[in-house]
Structure 1
Amino acid sequence: MALSLAVSPCPNDTFVFHALVHGLIPAAPEVNLTFADVDVTNTAAERGEFDLVKVSYAALPWLMDDYELLPTGGALGRGCGPLVLARDGKLDLTGKTVAVPGDRTTAYLLFRLWAAKTPPARIEVVPFHQIMPGVADGTYDAGLVIHEARFTYQRYDLVSLADLGEWWEGDTGLPIPLGAILARKGVVDPTEATEWIRTSVSMAWANPAASRDFILANAQEMEPDVVDQHIQLYVNEFTLELGRDGLAAADALLGRAAAAGLTPPIKPFV
């Protein structure tokens, strides 16, 4: 029976899951792929809609009763954090409107921890591709962006007010836990799924050209050089294996969030 898989169309996900999705791993089952932004998968997973799913680490407190965290395939790293963008580099966010890509995203959770002493008056959840244009045209005072926006925000004449990755790493010494891969309990064997995905990652690294057409076809009009930068930044050693630092990063993020009353408490991974 085919397994349902939901990931984003971003280059890091299409790079990582190309071999698995295209039936190139002999031991793996057929996979039915759905592309969706992480804000969609965060809530879809809560409804149990997918067998394997990419979600934000910030959404885990609502999902761990039904899913198990896999130690491979996700997005963690250093130097890859969300940015707070505005037209004015000296903008004070107090009383301003900030566009965010989802209310259960890691980016927004980091923003809430960072901005705890000066919360903006209004948060608007906006599709990711609308954030930078909306800030540029004055619809929003500031915007919280992720992924390829690190490489393209200057095109909108925007400036970075804060790099939440730098803030997080400076405060904790840990990588940022952005996206997690979950397996639905009772449906997917987590050990087997880990091996499928780890093999898919290894095959992607061994033969990057094999996934190129698939990546570019789903890269939402990203230029090839931006695609390459995206993959190099977000597919790293933590993608292959979370390891102790990766799990510690998840514990630090969710522990701080629970202590601040932002998320329900969750059992530590380490």
Structure 2
Amino acid sequence: MKLTLGFSPCPNDTFIFDALIHHKIDTEGLDFEVHFDDVETLNQKAVNHELDITKLSFHAFAHVADKYALLDSGSALGFGVGPLLICKDESLLDLETLAAKGKDLRIGIPGKLTTANFLLGIAFPEMQHKEIMVFSEIEDALLEDRIDIGLIIHENRFTYASRGLHKILDLGSHWESLTGCAIPLGGIVISRTLSKEIQLKVNRLIRKSVEFAFANPKSGIDFISSHAQAMDQEVMYKHIDLYVNNYSIDLGKEGRKAIDILFEKAEATGLIPAVPASLYVKPDTV
């Protein structure tokens, strides 16, 4: 049986899925047609229900939870992993100045349905002048004065300072101080049209793929590097270390609690519709 599978070319995703798509583990009769896209494109594909299995932002998941269920393995949650709000103009580092100018500032965001944009809405609801762009273009847009503030994710956390840009606020830390929970960034979802047997099998295979990657961290280096946009290996593995952790193996009760709180806050502020009571695909023993 062949299933369509979407994930980003970012190192955390290619690290997770390398063993699965290259049959370094027993895939139990399943094959995968892989679609590589940036996170906002994956979010939109999920809205259109184009793929059987896909990575997406948790913000986007809330809008498609009637079509997809969340797998227990493959997610990106953690502490100290949140999106950063950055600027070129150092005067914006003063939060009072930032608040005074907030309504007029041009903000580059990596997608409307990204969790990063949701967290921005919690921290700075007055900031509405948003320009959607590919996450890797935000630093250049700041340097070229096309935007005033950038909301960065992924490997840009490790590169912005070397380009003369400045951190205003870590929105992940803001979330952690509000909730005490890990920040849910992205997860792997599977179509509800597939049988429970297939859903559980895919969940099991992704877990095995992550476990293989942890046990053999250099096994997929050529594959990961080939999609890493000329990123040097030190940054590449920092990226992996930041976003792939025990939550990627198994959400567990704490991971699911963090996601539930995210959705509760989003529903309360009107950012998302009400989500189904049953969000998760998890082994019966969990």
TM-score, length basis structure 2? 0.91
Contact 2:66 2:276 in 1 (8 A): no
Which residue pairs with 1:203 in the alignment? 212
The one-letter code matched in structure 2 to 1:251 is: D
The one-letter code matched in structure 2 to 1:49 is: E
Give the one of 100, 107, 114 matched to 1:98: 107
2:228 aligned counterpart, secondary structure: coil
Give 5+ residue unaligned stretches, structure 1: none
- Residues 201 and 106 of structure 1: is their aligned pair in 2 closer, same or farther, counting only changes over 3 Å? same
The one-letter code matched in structure 2 to 1:17 is: F
The CA deviation at 1:94 is 3.2
Contact 1:255 1:266 in 2 (8 A): no
Percent same amino acid among aligned pairs? 39
1:31 aligned counterpart, secondary structure: strand
Q: Is 1:149 matched with 2:150?
A: no
| Mapped partners of 2:4, 2:90: distance in 1 | 43
Q: 1:172-195, CA deviations, whole angstroms, 9 ceiling, x for partnerless residues?
A: 110010011001122262211110
| Mapped partners of 1:129, 1:239: distance in 2 | 24
The CA deviation at 1:155 is 2.2
Give 5+ residue unaligned stretches, structure 2: 93-97, 281-286
Contact 2:87 2:166 in 1 (8 A): yes
Q: 1:16-38, CA deviations, whole angstroms, 9 ceiling, x for partnerless residues?
A: 00011112222151111110011
Q: 1:94-149, CA deviations, whole angstroms, 9 ceiling, x for partnerless residues?
A: 31100000000000000011102xx2251100111110110112110001000111
Q: How does 1:186-265 map to 2 (within 5 A)?
A: 186-187=193-194, 189-265=198-274
Contact 1:89 1:160 in 2 (8 A): no
Which residue pairs with 1:266 in the alignment? 275
Contact 1:28 1:196 in 2 (8 A): no
Contact 2:77 2:243 in 1 (8 A): yes
The CA deviation at 1:265 is 1.6
Which residue pairs with 1:132 in the alignment? 139
| Mapped partners of 2:276, 2:67: distance in 1 | 14
The CA deviation at 1:89 is 3.7
Q: 1:63-103, CA deviations, whole angstroms, 9 ceiling, x for partnerless residues?
A: 11111110110111111100001013441133110000000
Contact 2:65 2:276 in 1 (8 A): no
Contact 1:20 1:28 in 2 (8 A): no
The one-letter code matched in structure 2 to 1:7 is: F
TM-score, length basis structure 1? 0.96
Which residue pairs with 2:48 in the alignment? 47
Aligned length: 268
> CA RMSD of the aligned region, Å?
1.3
| Mapped partners of 2:114, 2:91: distance in 1 | 26
| Mapped partners of 1:264, 1:66: distance in 2 | 14
